[in-house]
Amino acid sequence: MLEATDIIKRFGGLVAVSDASLTVPEGRIVSLIGPNGAGKTTLFAVISGFLKPDAGRITFAGTDVTGMRPHEVCRLGLVRTFQVVQPFANLTVRENIAAGAHNRIRGRAEALDHAGEVGKRLGMGGMLDQPAGALTVAGRKRLELSRALATGPKLLLLDEVMAGLNATEITEIVEVIRGIRDTGITILLIEHVMQAVMSLSDYTYVLNNGAIISRGAPREVAADPQVVEAYLGHGASERIAAGGAGA
């Protein structure tokens, strides 16, 4: 469904993404993990059209989308959410979601109706007429998700939708994401909450210093010495293997 090949993105002298490639098969949940500053969000921005890559190629559902603008990519069915949520603060929850629904729906009344349905499906039924600015962090994350979902995507890129949520809220949103996948929408997510990565994703890529250092089923990846070192520092995996008390 999505194929990013040899993506390079530089900011001045800094190489944020270097030769990263990843593939997301249809109907799966794929996760992208890595330490802070690894380049995960930059890679998302490149895939969704917010940044132009310096090299590499992105194809989505058979179309070359490299260098397309975000709204064009969205029309094709590839939608991202933002790590720092970006609600339309002066609008109600329903109006926020309807702005997404307008991607496929022309009529205002139909878009508002569809927004109500999507909102209810994601557990925002009671908040539809509240101003988005008044929502809690968890509410805003759900809104971000609802708005993206209302655009009628084939592939959702979720950038840390669980950051800042408590354990109960995480359990809820994991269910919500699984529910979205079950309706046939493919998902690529960036996440730091490992419990969620383990339980949700079918496949995991690990990004460090802009390069993919490991890939595979979540369990295999978590055991990969390279990955452990990327997170805990050089030599950490040997110390753990030696039965270090610190592990």
Of residues 46-105, which lie at the interface with other proteins (CB under 8 A)? Answer: 48, 50, 69-71, 74-75, 79-82, 86-91, 95, 98-100, 102-103, 105
Per CB under 8 A, which of residues 127..156 are in contact with other proteins? 147-148, 150-151
Label residue 183 left, alpha or beta by phi (over 0 means left) and psi (-120 to 50 means alpha).
Answer: alpha
Given a contact cutoff of 8 angstroms between Cβ atoms, the answer to whether 72 and 151 are in contact is: no
Q: Closest approach of Cβ 49 to other proteins, in Å?
A: 8
Amino acid at 107: G
User: Smallest distance, Å, CB 117 to other proteins?
Assistant: 16
Among 11, 64, 108, 134, binds other proteins (CB under 8 A): 108
Phi-psi region of 150 (alpha: psi -120 to 50; beta: other; left: phi over 0): alpha
The residue type found at 159 is D
Place of tokens 């929502």: 135
State the minimum distance, in angstroms, from the CB of residue 149 to other proteins. Answer: 10
Nearest residue (CB) to other proteins, 148 versus 162: 148
- Residue (76 or 236) nearer to other proteins, CB: 76
- Assess 111 for contact with other proteins (CB under 8 A): yes
Give whichever of 82 and 203 is closer to other proteins, judged by the CB atom.
82
Please state, in angstroms and rounded to a whole number, the distance separating the CA atoms of residues 4 and 19. Answer: 10
User: Helix or strand or coil: residue 79?
Assistant: strand
CB 168 → other proteins: shortest distance, Å? 27
Closest approach, Cβ 187 to other proteins, in A, equals 16
Q: 49 near 239, Cβ under 8 Å? A: no
Vertex 26 angle, CA 149 and 114, to 5°: 20
How many residues sit in the footprint of other proteins (CB under 8 A)?
A: 32
CA 60, 62, 66, 71 torsion-angle sign: negative
108 vs 178 by CB, closer to other proteins: 108
**Shortest Cβ 21–other proteins spacing (Å):** 23
By C-beta, is 102 or 239 nearer to other proteins? 102
- Determine the angle formed by the axes of helices 137-150 and 167-182, rounding to 10 degrees: 10
Would you tell me which residues interact with other proteins (CB under 8 A)? 48, 50, 69-71, 74-75, 79-82, 86-91, 95, 98-100, 102-103, 105-108, 111, 147-148, 150-151
